[in-house]
Structure 1
Amino acid sequence: MLTQTYLTTDELSLKLKYDVRTIRERLKDSVLLEGVHYFRPFGGRKILFVWEAIERDMKNASTHEPRGMNAIPMASGAVLHG
Structure 2
Amino acid sequence: MEMTYLTTEELSERIKYDVRTIRERLKDSVLLEGIHYIRPFGGRKILYVWERVEKDMYSSACPTSFSALA
User: What's the TM-score once normalised by structure 1's chain length?
Assistant: 0.75
Question: Unmatched 5+ residue regions in structure 2?
Answer: 64-69
Number of aligned residue pairs: give it. 64
Counterpart residue number, 1:35? 34
- Greater strand content: 1
Task: Calculate the aligned-residue CA RMSD, in Å.
Answer: 1.1
Letter in 2 for 1:36: I
Question: Unmatched 5+ residue regions in structure 1?
Answer: 65-76, 78-82
Letter in 2 for 1:26: R
- Greater helix content: 2
Aligned-partner Cα distance in 2 for 1:40–1:18: 21
Residue 63 of structure 1 deviates from its aligned partner by: 1.3
Q: Secondary structure at the match of 1:30?
A: coil
Counterpart residue number, 1:73? none
Give % identity.
69
Residue 36 of structure 1 deviates from its aligned partner by: 0.2
Aligned-partner Cα distance in 2 for 1:3–1:25: 28
- Which segments of structure 1 move beyond 6 Å, counting only runs of 4 or more? none
Aligned-partner Cα distance in 2 for 1:17–1:57: 16
User: What's the TM-score once normalised by structure 2's chain length?
Assistant: 0.88
- 1:56 maps onto 2:55 in alignment: yes
